[in-house]
Structure 1
């Protein structure tokens, strides 16, 4: 497919996983620079993710610079040690100030810590930071009360609940509780990286109302490991269904590609493998627009 053709198919995409800065981890660009670059592809919006802080405050401080940029930028909060773990007060502030997403523990989850300690290659922060594990369950194995309160706030605000980097059993428990509480938007990011989930398990999450997110950074030939060719992504889409799949970038790190270029390469590879254009638009535009609440 020619460059103009793939750009037409991807026009209006929404990236739910952009690691723009500022951040304690080295970043290639800040939120404004990422938004300006997104204009090249007519990117409708992206979600700015930090493992360490509430990105809503960044965006409010950058409002003057973001004015006039056609790509909208939204923020949220990840429930890691740096914000006090499962902290309903921090969640309430983030969402009531315009946040659109709550990521359950990512770098503080047991699954992430196990992966990183096994040589997962996660980048080192630019400043010294103390890391500790954040658990969603208490000693009795039940979800701690703070999880319930966080879920209530997500349900009240209509925000997106992300599984973060939790292990599959914890995802299932949190999603089941969230569904019962009325949460309408849930997503599992890179299930086959850190989390250790499989398509059958992810279909169970879909039954609970979740979407399954995959990252262009895992399948982009400029950055991906050989075990993650585009054929692997295509198989996931076929097994879970494009109506339940999201394609995001997980990019912004120093030394890695711009999200726009990665979307073009991976999107082209999927079309070459036979994915219909309408299905690609479903996973880059329709589904993430719903999850961010852009058409409510």
Structure 2
């Protein structure tokens, strides 16, 4: 077993886009779990922008038997599930959900990003689905809506991870500050340099409040969106102790999650990132965030 393969033993992917989903997916959750298990992953979290994936996982239980990889689901608070719907959050958490993603495709930042690209708009309206409605975490008075605090409390009680989803800089900061003030320390800010446009210094400040900055392997595989040097700069700025790497993969037309991990982790090793630091980013940090410590 090579160095990369050894590092993947115990890895946790917090951002797997397997199916079912309204969007075209290359693999199902069960297939993603089988491939992860063969590579020695400890767990994966499956994500969908349109529905709670907890029931997907429960329905696939017979297909997951015998695998060494645990599979968890969660809920993204987009208009398709009623937005900041604490009843939907309660159901997800009570059925085993481990992650609450605040608005992704319903965030202001995402909708503004999509508005400038017709192909992106079509991509996020699969099967001719209705356009997502904007879900703001702020009320008309400019303060956080009361549901935000209620959902933070639900996540804290359940020990679930809160992700800022695709919230823009102001909203992401407000959510992290509110969660930190409530004593919740399982927080993730995903792909700060993609769609959400969180500046590097702000990301470092949010890491200081307890947020882990998650970067997506999909964006660095074959330098698809960013060259690897960008990821190296982020790791240097934030520190591996505050960084997590997720795949953001499973879509038709993209590499499989495990094969992308193998390539990108190999390149990180070749670039001088230590095995210890890679272990923090793909094993220790994500495991803590979903309560596997």
Settle same-fold status: TM greater than 0.5.
yes
CA distance in 1: counterparts of 2:200 and 2:106, whole angstroms: 24
1:182 Cα deviation (Å)?
2.1
Match of 1:128 in 2: 128
In the alignment, the residues of structure 1 paired with residue 97 and residue 118 of structure 2 have an alpha-carbon distance, to the nearest angstrom, of 30
Instruction: Write out aligned runs for 1:53-132 (5 A).
Output: 53-119=51-117, 121-122=119-120, 123-130=123-130, 131-132=132-133
Give the deviation of 1:212 after TM superposition: 0.1
Give the alignment's Cα RMSD to 1 decimal: 1.3
TM-score, normalised relative to structure 2: 0.96
Residue aligning to 2:155: 154
CA distance in 2, matches of 1:121, 1:187: 28
The number of equivalent residue pairs is 290
State how 1:127-206 maps to structure 2 within 5 Å: 127-130=127-130, 131-206=132-207
CA distance in structure 1 between the partners assigned to 2:142 and 2:125 by the alignment: 32
1:233-290 deviation digits (Å, cap 9, x = unpaired): 0110000000000011000111111111101111111111110111011100010000
Q: Which of 5, 8, 20 is the equivalent residue of 2:6?
A: 8
> What is aligned with 1:214?
215
* CA deviation map 1:130-167 (0-9, x unaligned): 22111111111111111111111011111000000001
**Is 1:277 matched up with 2:271?**
no
**How many Å separate the matches in 2 of 1:157 and 1:39?**
26
Q: Deviations over 1:26-71 (max 9, x none)?
A: 1011100000011231011011001011100111111111111111
Match for residue 224 of structure 2? 224
User: How many Å apart are 1:191 and its aligned residue?
Assistant: 0.5
Partner of 1:17: 15
Q: Which runs of 5+ in 1 are unaligned?
A: none
